């Protein structure tokens, strides 16, 4: 039904389709930003001493070469280029590696490793100006603007208060050694950024909750959609019922074809009917149920048996036991051998015939 309210939680299939077909997953960009800033500057805090030491070693090496005679050549400039590359790799390589890892990690963690090109496909609905205007005034856009204003305001307040509190120390840097000035500046920047990172963590937590709420709202389904999905996955109940009915009819027709070939039908007296077939010429064989039924089907089995001169006897407990415990096409269990043997003996006596059992079969039975 068009326009039906979506109030039901998404089914596992809907979630799977949104992920695999649409490439839509719960993801907060603010979580990535917070983790990246926090991880990058935490990495700087750990690697700063190493980077500074490597940089000082490189500067010392360069200064020691000042004044030496240089012969310009291709080999010289190639060696210099390689040395510069080596310095860059040793000094900034580790922090670059940390930056790449912490940038990829939150994305992989949130998407659970999903890779899709769905977002890269052209979508002409994005060119619709009405859709663009609509997005500008959507709840997501309003929340994004408010979130941005809060971030800018809080960061500005942190930077201003931190710099204001350090003004006296900053002024005194003029009279300190350059290395001490660099160390103080680096430590101040690190402290400010870590405070900003803490704010970003709180913003990211709030944004993740909002994105989760939006995502769940987007996934919600109407009752009709759930019914349609059930029909697609499990099949229309009415069609399934008709198929099962047809299968039962075919099975019953095959079963009824076996009734004329049976040796005896045991009834109870109208509720249950079980047709048995027994081949005494096979030493290892046992009586086998070839047809069974209850109520109307039982009466049909009895009717067919009467039309084909199949021996019919009434034994209420045996008929019910055979009906409930033995499937069509299966041999009777050993605990029923004696009761069924009495029925077969009764049948042979009534017909005045005895089965022709080969001597080889008799020897195997003995």
* CA gap 264, 18 in Å, rounded: 61
| Distances, alpha carbon 170 to alpha carbons 180, 189, 190, 199, in Å | 11, 12, 15, 25
* CA gap 185, 166 in Å, rounded: 10
Answer for the pair 297, 281: CB distance below 8 angstroms, yes or no: no
pLDDT of residue 289: 92
* CA gap 366, 364 in Å, rounded: 5
pLDDT of residue 273: 92
pLDDT of residue 360: 46
* CA gap 310, 264 in Å, rounded: 6
| Distances, alpha carbon 81 to alpha carbons 76, 88, 154, 156, 164, in Å | 9, 11, 44, 42, 43
pLDDT of residue 94: 83
* CA gap 152, 4 in Å, rounded: 41
Tell which residue, 156, 193, 192, has the closest CA to residue 40.
193
pLDDT of residue 267: 92
Tens digit of each residue's pLDDT (9 = 90 or more) over 228-255: 777 776 665 666 777 777 777 787 788 8
Residues near 343 by beta carbon (within 8 Å), at least 6 away in sequence? 264, 266, 276, 313, 315, 318
Dihedral pair phi/psi, residue 64, rounded to 5°: -65, -20
* CA gap 309, 350 in Å, rounded: 12
DSSP 263: S
pLDDT of residue 264: 92
Q: Sketch out the chain's domains with CATH numbers.
A: 23-121+129-220 (no CATH), 241-365 (3.40.1690.10)
Ordered per-residue pLDDT tens for the chain, 366 residues: 445 677 778 878 888 877 777 777 888 888 888 888 888 878 877 887 788 788 777 777 777 766 666 667 777 778 778 878 888 888 888 888 888 888 888 888 887 777 666 655 555 555 556 655 656 556 677 777 887 888 888 888 888 888 888 888 877 777 777 777 777 787 888 888 888 888 888 888 888 888 888 888 888 888 888 777 777 766 656 667 777 777 777 877 888 888 998 889 999 877 899 999 988 777 667 889 999 988 888 899 999 999 998 999 999 999 999 999 998 889 999 898 889 888 888 888 887 776 654 444 444 444
Strand order in the sheet with 272-277: 288-294, 272-277, 264-267, 311-314
User: For the chain, how big is the Rg over CA atoms in Å?
Assistant: 43
Its pTM surpasses 0.85: no
| Distances, alpha carbon 270 to alpha carbons 101, 293, 321, 323, in Å | 78, 10, 15, 13
* CA gap 126, 133 in Å, rounded: 11
pLDDT of residue 275: 93
Vertex 103: Cα angle to 99 and 108 (nearest 5): 140
Residues near 52 by beta carbon (within 8 Å), at least 6 away in sequence? none
pLDDT of residue 362: 40
Decide: residue 277, CB within 10 A, 0-12 exposed, 13-18 middle, 19+ buried.
middle
């Amino acid at each position: 039904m068009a326009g039906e309210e979506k109030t039901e939680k998404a089914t596992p299939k809907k979630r799977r389709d949104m992920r695999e077909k649409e490439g839509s997953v719960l993801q907060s960009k603010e979580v990535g930003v917070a983790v990246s800033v926090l991880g990058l500057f935490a990495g700087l805090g750990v690697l700063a001493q190493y980077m500074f030491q490597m940089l000082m070693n490189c500067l010392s090496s360069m200064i020691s070469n000042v004044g030496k005679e240089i012969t310009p050549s291709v080999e010289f400039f190639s060696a210099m280029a390689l040395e510069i590359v080596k310095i860059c790799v040793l000094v900034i390589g580790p922090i670059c590696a940390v930056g790449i890892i912490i940038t990829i990690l939150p994305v992989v963690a949130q998407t659970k490793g999903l890779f899709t090109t769905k977002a890269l496909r052209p979508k002409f609905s994005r060119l619709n100006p009405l859709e663009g205007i609509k997005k500008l005034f959507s709840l997501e856009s309003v929340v994004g603007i408010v979130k941005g204003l809060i971030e800018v305001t809080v960061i500005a307040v942190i930077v201003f208060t931190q710099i204001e509190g350090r003004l006296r120390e900053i002024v005194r840097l003029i009279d300190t050694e350059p290395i001490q000035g660099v160390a103080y500046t680096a430590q101040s920047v690190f402290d400010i950024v870590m405070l900003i990172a803490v704010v970003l963590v709180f913003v990211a937590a709030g944004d993740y909750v909002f994105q989760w709420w939006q995502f769940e709202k987007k996934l919600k389904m109407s009752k009709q959609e759930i019914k349609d999905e059930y029909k697609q996955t499990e099949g229309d109940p009415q069609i399934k019922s008709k198929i099962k009915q047809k299968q039962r009819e075919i099975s019953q027709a095959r079963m009824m074809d076996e009734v004329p070939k049976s040796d005896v039908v045991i009834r109870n007296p109208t509720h249950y009917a079980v047709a048995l077939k027994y081949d005494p010429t096979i030493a290892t064989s046992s009586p086998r149920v070839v047809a069974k039924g209850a109520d109307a089907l039982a009466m049909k089995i009895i009717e067919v048996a009467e039309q084909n001169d199949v021996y019919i006897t009434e034994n209420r407990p045996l008929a019910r036991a055979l009906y409930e415990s033995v499937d069509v096409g299966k041999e009777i269990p050993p605990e029923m051998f004696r009761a069924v043997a009495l029925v077969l003996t009764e049948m042979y006596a009534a017909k005045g015939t005895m089965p022709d059992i080969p001597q080889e079969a008799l020897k195997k039975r003995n």
